[in-house]
Amino acid sequence: MHDLTRRGLLGAATALAAPLLAGPLAGPALAQPKWPARPVQMLCPWAAGGGTDAVLRIVAILLEKELGQPFNVVNRTGGSGVVGHAAIAAAPADGYTLGIITAEICMLHWQGLTEVTYKNYTPLGLMNNDPPGIQVNINSPYKDVKQLADAIKASTPGKFKASGTGQGGIWHLALAGWLGAMGLKADHVRWVPSNGAAPAMQDLAANGLDFTTCSVPEARAMLDAGRARSLAVMAPERLSAFPNIPTLKEAMGVDYNSGAWRGIAGPPGLPAAVVSTMDAALGKVFASQEYKDFLNARGFGMVYADAAGFGEHMAKADVSLGDAMKAAGLAKV
């Protein structure tokens, strides 16, 4: 009886440990003519159950279909994303450890929190980009983004309060960038740090804030519930899932774009065969109906760039996010 239970407990523990150990224990790569010859480990710097995790998991499933080897998602969390991002950059460059990297990689190093920048990766493909929106309470007097912008310009610094994420987070930088594009100082609107977009949207509905700059999908439930209104989206074109929300350029002639993006990348110096195979496979994954359905269902922005395009995207994002951080006084280096 005792033995039985103990074996049960141990069995369960091994079953849990097995997928964790499978990656590192898989035999060393011999000179393989074809990649992938064995399962590929995909690292995710963010926790299981979140948006980035969901994107990586669906990509992994579709890659397996495409390339015939399992792609195992492993969440390597901690240090506000620093740990996982660093682990992808430091992985052996044999193509068997890849991962998903997010906009934070172009922010963390400006804050002096890590040495790792976008240059420490081999970009493989940009898979998604969620641009920030500008949301107000449904009872707000501002009917369009131009009215809101004029009111902000006319106000004393610090009178308007906005939120959407923590201090120095991606939506804070979106606000700083938007204000900069209007010729205002980055702190003209006071940022109220929040623990993510959901509490900020709740506080917006509770009349605690003037507006939020989180992404439209994050605001979606409050928009659907008739508690909030989205005035504009900071993107070059309208979102396919929200065709009624104008872009900043259409609504007030200010051309400012930003976004929380996610892409697949590997450590530097990946073999050319891996890059070309992944580049083509990710293109097919993005074009597949399953991936489109997934992004649409979650309301995630459908944006793709191939390996080279992703590299350019990151270089641009690094400069623009860095500028926004310097303007907001958040950059340390």
Partner 1 sequence: MSELYEAIRLVAAPDVVIAIVASAIYGLVVGSMPGLSATMATALLVPVTFWLSPIAAIATIITASAMAIFSGDIPGCLLRIPGTPASAAYTDEAYAMTRKGQAEMALGAGLWFSAIGGIVGTLSLVLMAPLLAEMALSFSTYEYFWLAFLGLMCATLVARSSPIKAIASMLLGLLIACIGMENPAGTPRFTFGMTDLLGGIEPIPALVGVFAVSEVMRAMASAEPPKLPKRKFGSILANQWMLTKKYQKPMWRGNFIGIIIGVLPGAGADMAAWVSYAMSKKFSKTPELFGTGHPEGLVEAGASNNASLASGWVPALLFGIPGDTITAIAIGVLYMKGLNPGPTLFTENARSMYALYLIFIIANIIMIPLGIVMIRMASTVLRAPRASIMPVILLLCAVGAYATGNNLFSVGLVGAFGILGFVMERNGYPVAALVLGIVMGSMVETNFVTSLIKSDGDVLPFFERPVSAVLAAMTIGALLWPLGVWIWNRTGGARLQPRGAAE
Where on the chain is the footprint of partner 1 (CB under 8 A)?
Answer: 1-2, 4-6, 8-10, 12-13, 16-17, 20, 47-51, 53-54, 57-58, 61, 73-80, 82-83, 86, 113-114, 158, 161, 166-169, 190, 192-195, 198-199, 201-203, 205-209, 220-222, 224-227, 294, 297-299, 330
Q: Which is nearer to partner 1, 5 or 141 (CB)?
A: 5
Q: Which is nearer to partner 1, 307 or 330 (CB)?
A: 330
Nearest approach, Cβ of residue 189 and partner 1 (Å): 12
Nearest approach, Cβ of residue 256 and partner 1 (Å): 22
Nearest approach, Cβ of residue 208 and partner 1 (Å): 4
Q: Which is nearer to partner 1, 80 or 320 (CB)?
A: 80
Q: Which is nearer to partner 1, 27 or 226 (CB)?
A: 226
Nearest approach, Cβ of residue 163 and partner 1 (Å): 8
Nearest approach, Cβ of residue 218 and partner 1 (Å): 8
Q: Which is nearer to partner 1, 13 or 333 (CB)?
A: 13
Q: What's the 3-state SS for the chain?
A: CHHHHHHHHHHHHHHHHHHHHHHHHCCCCCCCCCCCCCCEEEEECCCCCCHHHHHHHHHHHHHHHHHCCCEEEEECCCHHHHHHHHHHHCCCCCCCEEEEEEHHHHCCCCCCCCCCCHHHCEEEEEEEEECEEEEEECCCCCCCHHHHHHHHHHCCCCCCEEECCCCCCHHHHHHHHHHHHCCCCCCCCEECCCCCHHHHHHHHHCCCCCEECCEHHHHHHHHHCCCEEEEEECCCCCECCECCCCEHHHHHCCCCCCCEEEEEEECCCCCHHHHHHHHHHHHHHHHCHHHHHHHHHHCCCCCCEEHHHHHHHHHHHHHHHHHHHHHCCCCCC
